[in-house]
Structure 1
Amino acid sequence: MYNLSEGAGVNTTNNTFSIEDYDYTGDYDVTEPCTFNNTENMELVLGPYIHSIICILGLVGNSLVIVTYAFYKRAKSMTDVYLLNVAIADLLFVVALPLIIYNEQSHWDMGAAACKLLRGVYSVNLYSGMLLLACISTDRYIAIVQARRSFRLRSLLYSRIICAIVWICALLLSIPTLYYYDRYLPSHSPADYEGEEYGIIRPYSEETEPMYKNVTKTLEYVCELRFADNTTAWMVKVLVPSTQMAVGFFLPLLIMVFCYTSVIVTLLRARNFQRHKAVRVVLAVVAVFIACHMPYNLTLFYETVIMFFEQACGSADDLQVAKTVTKTLAYLHCCLNPVLYAFIGVKFRNHFRKIVQDLWCLGKRYIAPRRFSRVTSEIYVSTRRSVDGSSDNGSSFTM
């Protein structure tokens, strides 16, 4: 019988075998687990290099968005509040990503607490980021298509309440990840440490620890889903990726397609040059979202469908390679969000230029205090005059 509680049987999620429940007195052929050489080689390339670039770009871009809203452009509309929260979610993700990569390559040296915390942070930011993008598309739909009612529906109070609800929902949806993810030694690991004096291979535990006294190879811990029984394993291993695909991709995608289609129709009727440029921005937002997240979610869907079926080692390795590559492509979206949703706006770019100018001025120690005071006063006056609450309705996509 297959035991799914600790990745036992043939499990393409963490690719482990367990013989814990078998009778060791009979004659059995013990098959070694698959070796995922292609996946490991791909991770060695993506981890130190591509993911590092994503972390740096995401850290710089989202930090600039947060600094701009904190010191230069105070949030005055629903879109501003949503953009600030998206930047916070993306920033938390790019901060956690290096730690996740480090632990995966060093067999989770930071322990079980880091396993749960980092996986949980990733899950919370995934749901919150995607739902906030759906909120932005809804806000722009109301501002442009339902312009007559926008002043009543779009307020800072509503936006803050909605953001709080989004973060709470993201936390609730991440409870299974926080609870079931654990750091442990896979049941197949002892296959690497079998000895003549024992004759059989037993899972690592306090009772079987003497088996490992002469072992020189480092035990390779993993941070994966772990369960107490098969029923829970079947349910959660289907529920977690299904929820991630439904709430973290398909629901935001449907909202974005509906809202932005209505926005494009409204903008095309406006017969205005700026509005036609805005149509290109809308198409870019939707195209980038689909290009970044569609491949990974299709791969995740295929993996979920075939999860409990036996697979050849080569096919399982190819699937993990595809999942690794498409997940990296999804990570790239956190770098593009600041460009698509913030820096593409004229007002935001003006505030960003002021940040660059101020940093340049602060770098010149010979600058006169009076001149620096005058520059700061001009920035303050400019910030006070840039009121977005009323003018944002018709220029949410202005280039």
Structure 2
Amino acid sequence: KGMFEDGSETCCDGCELFEPCPFQKNQSVAQVIGPYIHSIICILGLIGNSLVIVTYAFYKRTKSMTDIYLFNVAIADLLFVLALPFIVYNELWSWPMGQVACKLLRGSYSVNLYSGMLLLACISTDRYIAIVQARRSFRLRSPSYSRIICAIIWIFAILMSVPTFYFYNWYEPSHTKGLMWDNDNQTQIQSSTPEYVCAFKFEDTKRAQEVKVAIPSTQISVGFFLPLFIMIFCYSAIIVTLLKAKNLQRHRAVRVVLVVVAVFIICHLPYNIVLLYDTVNLFQESPCGEADIMEIALTVSQTIAYMHCCLNPLLYAFVGVNFRNHFRRIFRDLWCLGKKYMAPRRFSRVTSDFYMSSTRRSMDGSSNSGASFTM
């Protein structure tokens, strides 16, 4: 009897077991992408999404339906970039944080993936209603509806992530301990110090096959193709409507729409194609060289998909004039507050008065009560 890497057991009467492929090329790529590229993604995503959350929370009092969606997208992206360093560390080295952290981090990653992608689909639907169905938009675009929809999406994302919460475990892989067999000799492979990982673990081979196909298939269909089809349908109708209007500002909005869709496809399509190919060929034997190339493709395309969390603030918020005005107010208030504490004797009264007046203007200066920052 032997054990697979995920912990499931199999009978080995007359079969051959070998060490897992070392994936040396993928390890070399991951050593560059993990510490450096992912660090840049985390920093930019943390700054951009934090600014979006601060702006919506403190600088824009009246929120439209799209604003509420964008606020929730920023929360999902922020939670994602906070979990990303721990996930990258787990993929490169041993997992030191135990069972609870393993399940929470991997599960939260899945929740944020589903919620973020579906919220982007909701934004495109809201824009479709506001522009194409303008006559009915006042009845359909209620902020209370958007809060209910956001709650439903978060609950749905949690339910879709239940298998991830359940099957991810903290354990020591079989290739670092125990016995493995070759044709004639029985060789014991024992690591000097236990190396634990946070990965899928199953009790039997059948369950492993079902789950390892079901989870990526659901991620591809619900987490990518469903939002993609909704965005293509809504934004296509929006473009047709905007092109009919002889308005320069509307034609600029068309370019924004095209950029939003193009960036979404460029970021997520390569990874989902590679993941689909890998899932279809999951249980077929392949040489270690081909498997190593597939792992490199997954690593690189996944990193490109991660970049979308940094681009969301730029695509959906920073392009709007209103948001840029709020953004400048944030830095102006922070500068005034910094001067207040750095030179209290000289500037305390003046800075305090200026800070309070600027904050009051920023709180009361949101002129477009129902308008989105983005269109």
Does the pair score TM above 0.5? Answer: yes
Kindly provide the amino acid, as one letter, of the partner of residue 79 in structure 1: T
Aligned to 1:287: 262
Q: Which residue of 156, 173, 191 maps to 1:169?
A: 156
Q: Which residue of 54, 61, 67 maps to 2:41?
A: 54
Q: Which residue of 347, 350, 369 maps to 2:325?
A: 350
In structure 2, distance between residues paired with 1:344 and 1:29: 59
User: Matched residue of 1:183: which SS?
Assistant: strand
Aligned to 2:87: 100
In structure 1, distance between residues paired with 2:323 and 2:158: 30
Q: Which residue of 187, 211, 227 maps to 2:202?
A: 227
Q: Give 1:104 deviation, angstroms.
A: 2.8
CA contact (8 A) 1:75 1:81 kept: no
Q: Which runs of 5+ in 1 are unaligned?
A: 9-17, 203-210
Q: Which residue of 366, 373, 391 maps to 2:353?
A: 373
1:250-329 counterparts in 2 under 5 A? 250-329=225-304
Aligned residues: 367
CA contact (8 A) 2:316 2:374 kept: no
In structure 2, distance between residues paired with 1:87 and 1:34: 39
In structure 1, distance between residues paired with 2:56 and 2:109: 24
- In the superposition, the TM-score normalised over structure 2's length comes to 0.91
Q: Give 1:7 deviation, angstroms.
A: 6.3
2:186 is equivalent to residue 200 of structure 1 = yes
Q: Give 1:76 deviation, angstroms.
A: 1.5
User: Matched residue of 2:174: which SS?
Assistant: coil
Aligned to 1:157: 144
In structure 2, distance between residues paired with 1:47 and 1:374: 44
CA contact (8 A) 2:317 2:374 kept: no
Q: Give 1:144 deviation, angstroms.
A: 0.7
Aligned to 2:222: 247
Kindly provide the amino acid, as one letter, of the partner of residue 217 in structure 2: S
User: Matched residue of 2:186: which SS?
Assistant: coil
In structure 1, distance between residues paired with 2:5 and 2:169: 12
User: Matched residue of 2:347: which SS?
Assistant: coil
User: Matched residue of 1:188: which SS?
Assistant: helix
In structure 2, distance between residues paired with 1:277 and 1:87: 24
Kindly provide the amino acid, as one letter, of the partner of residue 44 in structure 1: Q
Q: Which residue of 330, 343, 346 maps to 2:305?
A: 330
The structure that is helix-richer by fraction is: 2
1:11-90 counterparts in 2 under 5 A? 21-23=11-13, 29-90=16-77
In structure 1, distance between residues paired with 2:288 and 2:93: 24
CA contact (8 A) 1:76 1:387 kept: no
CA contact (8 A) 1:125 1:170 kept: yes
Structure 1 pair 174–363 and aligned structure 2 pair: CA distance change class (3 A) = same
Q: How big is the alpha-carbon RMSD for the aligned residues of Structure 1 and Structure 2?
A: 2.3
Structure 1 pair 385–38 and aligned structure 2 pair: CA distance change class (3 A) = same
In structure 2, distance between residues paired with 1:235 and 1:5: 16
In structure 2, distance between residues paired with 1:176 and 1:30: 29
In structure 2, distance between residues paired with 1:94 and 1:39: 22
Structure 1 pair 2–141 and aligned structure 2 pair: CA distance change class (3 A) = farther
**Alpha-carbon displacement from aligned partner over 1:139-175 (angstroms, at most 9, x marks no partner):** 0111111111111111110010000000000000000
User: Matched residue of 1:367: which SS?
Assistant: helix
Structure 1 pair 153–228 and aligned structure 2 pair: CA distance change class (3 A) = same
Kindly provide the amino acid, as one letter, of the partner of residue 226 in structure 1: K
Structure 1 stretches of 4+ moved >6 Å: 1-5
In structure 1, distance between residues paired with 2:334 and 2:237: 41
Q: Give 1:387 deviation, angstroms.
A: 4.0
Structure 1 pair 250–75 and aligned structure 2 pair: CA distance change class (3 A) = farther
Aligned to 1:13: none
Aligned to 1:207: none
Q: Give 1:386 deviation, angstroms.
A: 1.8
Aligned to 1:6: 6
User: Matched residue of 2:199: which SS?
Assistant: strand
